Amino acid sequence: MPHILHLDASARPGLAGKDLHGSHSRNLSQRFVSQWLALRPDDTVTYRDIGQNPPAFISHDWIAASFTPEAQREPWMHDTLAESNQLADELIAADILVIGVPLYNFGMPAALKAWIDQIVRPGKTVNIDTGNPETPYTALLADRPRHAVILTARGGIGFGRGGELEALNHLEPALITALNFIGINQVHQIAIEGQEIGGEVLANSVALAHRQIDALVQGLSQAPEPELIAEPA
């Protein structure tokens, strides 16, 4: 039975169309999860609002603790890594990662970058073998099929693949690089554009994104169970 980890990274707490200055990315992620549960009500979801409750930034102590083998860690190191362990364990348990995230100043919000830094962990989500310089990294989340669904809202237009401003979009490329690095390689992207323009431009973009989300939910939710969720050996 698939398990979803649902993240929202927008600094806006409300929903677009319902709240003043509401979040379009939250609308997209909520639509995906609600549509999924309508089709598969027995599936489970873990929700984490990192936009309103951002993870801690990594520190000198965090780096020292994470690069110390677990058997050699001192008590303070375990305390330092407690939040990271919880966030990483939530991701490890998930079969589908759903991220609602706005494009801020050409990249991801600081809260999402903090989450990435907490879950990319030596010995937890990736193994590092410095004695093997040709292939030093082993992605630990490649143990079974996992999907990531990135649902993005952008103020301008032309930031998508093939758009005239694609080179200025450092959100999805950086996020996908990090997810691929730890073994999540099946990534789906849907975005709306034109928040700052509004009107028909935004309305048409939102309508298209909703249709794409509905189609993606239908496709993934009806995939054969072994293909979507393969049990680890």
Is 21 annotated for ligand binding?
no
Residue 10 known to bind ligand: yes
The response to whether 23 counts as a known ligand-binding position is yes
pTM, rounded to two decimals:
0.93
Tokens (6 digits) for 52: 């309103």
Question: Which domains are delineated in the chain?
Answer: 3-223 (3.40.50.360)
Q: Stretch 36-51: mean pLDDT, rounded?
A: 97
**What are the percentages of helix, strand and coil residues in the chain, rounded to 5?**
40, 20, 40
Write phi, then psi, for 157 (nearest 5 degrees).
-130, 155
pLDDT tens, 193-223?
A: 998 899 999 999 999 999 999 999 999 998 7
The answer to whether the CB of 133 falls within 8 A of the CB of 185 is no
Can you give the length of the chain in residues? 233
Is 34 annotated in a binding site? The answer is: no
At 107-148, the pLDDT tens digits run 999 999 999 999 999 999 999 988 888 889 999 999 999 999
Q: Quote the pLDDT of residue 227.
A: 54
Question: In a 3-state reduction of DSSP, which class is residue 16?
Answer: coil
